[in-house]
Amino acid sequence: MKKLVALLLALVLALPAFALAEEEVFRSYASDFSQGTDGWYARSTGEASISVADGALTITGRTATWNSPGRDFPLVAGKKYTVSVEVKHDAAEAFELMISAAHSKNGLESYENIARAKAKPGEWTTISATYTPSNYDNYILYVETVNFGTTDFSMRNFNVELDEIVFDNTLPSLKDLYAPYFDLGAATTKSETLDEKRMDFYASQFNILTPGNELKPDFVLDIAASRKLAKEDPTAVAVKFDNAKPLLDYCQKNGIKVHGHVLVWHSQTPEAFFREGYSSSGTFVSREVMLARLDNYVRLIMEYMEANYPGVIVSWDVVNEAINDSNGALRESNWTKVVGDDFVNRAFEIARKYAPEGTKLYYNDYNTPEQMKLIGISKLLDSLIADGNIDGYGFQAHYGATTPLPSRIRAAMQEISAKGLRLRVSELDVAIDNNSEVQLRTQAYRYVALFQIFMEYAEHIDAVQVWGVTDDLSWKASNYPLLFDAKARPKFAFDSIVELVQPKAE
């Protein structure tokens, strides 16, 4: 009897794993409402109702804009879906309707607006957009009005389709091909790390990854918790790593290095970090308090990473973009206002104090080949070298198809490497005007020219990292700047830098 109970228990425990098998992933839904309401219901406090006729669902009796036809959907976090619906109303004038999502996590419900469109009276209007859900326990999709809160309306042809991408892990591997020269890496975002197949594809190409946003102060500083701590100690800091954990977990599990970006930056840093009581608009704290906050902030980050992800983060951008574009002087910011012009030096001093042994510390900036910018960067680097707390410099390389000139890039690399600093190409992409074949081939030529320069300086370069992997997820998506298109298919640029070190067989 005991053996039978144990067997039944084992079978029950195995059921959830079966239910979450890949073949059970929700992929599509389409309804013409020919079979009734098809699981849709009226979201209201009881006044609204729905009915179906002639392939359309109509909601009546609405008393608020949120009253809407809704339906539960088993969406998968991190997957990209295309959602669309046709809507129609008979009000006197045009107004907006939208597709929205309600979702909950641990019993707490939250909402998102996915897409909207203005619908003219008596005409069917399509609302459509892509939607990538974050990690929640359940999801409801619904159609509501933006205004005209009590207006009846109809909808038809509600469709949800998984925007599937076939990731080819058998392509030539950039990390392997360029292993004799430098690490090959990329930047990712949290939504990408929720898709394991996508991450496995990235891992087939790259051996070092950077969180594009999730280790910036906006994401790491816990202002609400810091505000509570500041009542007892104005220098206290609270941090959180919820957004960074998915990438760190994946990299730890799969033996991939991480470059940390970024500890100190004038942008994407909460204003409250610099103010008394962590208020949004109070008096600035003193220099001493701010340096103590920075010390606590960096210490907590380094201690957390060493305790939970030892050896995963191999390098950090300590300070980002501190030099003014136009004159090479130090950029004015809250850091210069509160700490002073030596804030970069103090940040590196603090980072060196807490960084695990062997962790490389970088200063990171853009437009390095521009003469005035290079003069300012060079002066700053000299002061950091004199302090003995910097290891390298990160070239942000957000370049165009023809600028900057290769000669200027070489000159900048030569000047900085001659100082004895390590280099990294930290944020590489090449913007083009459109995705025509002519432009894509021009882009490929540019990538080859850049990689030829990087290979010339390979003895000084730790890593070359593209700022994203697929065009659609780039911060410059409209300029198609990366090595893979929106479907993760290799572009001419990818093929060309592969052929640069692995020529085609005759």
The closest of 168, 100, 219, 194 to 473, measured between CA atoms, is 194
Q: 86, 214, 349, 427: which one is catalytic?
A: 427
When the candidates are 3.30.70.260, 3.20.20.80, 3.40.50.2000, 3.20.20.70, the CATH number that belongs to 174-501 is 3.20.20.80
**pLDDT at residue 2, as a whole number:** 41
Residue 271 catalytic? no
In the chain, domain spans: 23-162, 174-501
pLDDT at residue number 6: 41
Whether the predicted pLDDT of 44 surpasses 60: yes
**pLDDT of 258-277, one tens digit each?**
999 999 999 999 999 999 99
Spatial separation of the C-alpha atoms in residues 356 and 364, rounded to whole Å: 20
Burial degree of 54 (CB within 10 A; 0-12, 13-18, 19+): exposed
- Of these residues, 321, 437, 456, 499, which one is catalytic? 321
Mean of the per-residue pLDDT values of the chain: 93
Distance between first and last Cα of the chain: 70
Considering only CA atoms, which of 115, 160, 206 is closest in space to residue 470? 206
- pLDDT tens per residue, range 391-400: 999 999 999 9
pLDDT reported for residue 165: 85
Name the DSSP class of 286. Answer: P
The pair of three-digit structure tokens given for residue 115, joined into one six-digit string: 């897409």
* 3-class state of residue 68 by DSSP: strand
- Per-residue pLDDT at 34: 84
Q: What is the pLDDT of residues 142-194, one digit of tens each?
A: 999 997 668 999 999 999 999 888 899 999 999 999 999 999 999 999 999 99
Mean pLDDT of 133-140: 94
Distance (Å, rounded) from C-alpha 269 to C-alpha 393?
A: 22
Cα separation values, 3 from 7, 15, 86, 446, Å: 6, 19, 57, 68
The residue-averaged pLDDT of 81-95 equals: 92
Task: Specify the residue for token string 């995963």.
Answer: 312
pLDDT the model gives residue 17: 31
β-strand 68-73 against 138-145: which pairing, if any? Answer: antiparallel
Region 23-162: CATH code: 2.60.120.260
DSSP 331: P
> Distance between CA 231 and CA 333 in Å, rounded?
26
Average pLDDT over residues 416-427: 98
pLDDT of residue 235: 98
23 as an active site residue: the answer is no
Please, which pLDDT band fits residue 8 given cuts at 50, 70 and 90?
very low
Which has the minimum average pLDDT: 5-19, 117-131, 294-308, 353-367?
A: 5-19
- The pTM score is 0.73
For the stretch 112-149, what's the b/e string if a residue is b when 16 or more beta carbons lie within 10 angstroms of its beta carbon? eebbbbebeeeeebebeeebbbeebeebbbbbbbeebe
37 near 50, Cβ under 8 Å? yes
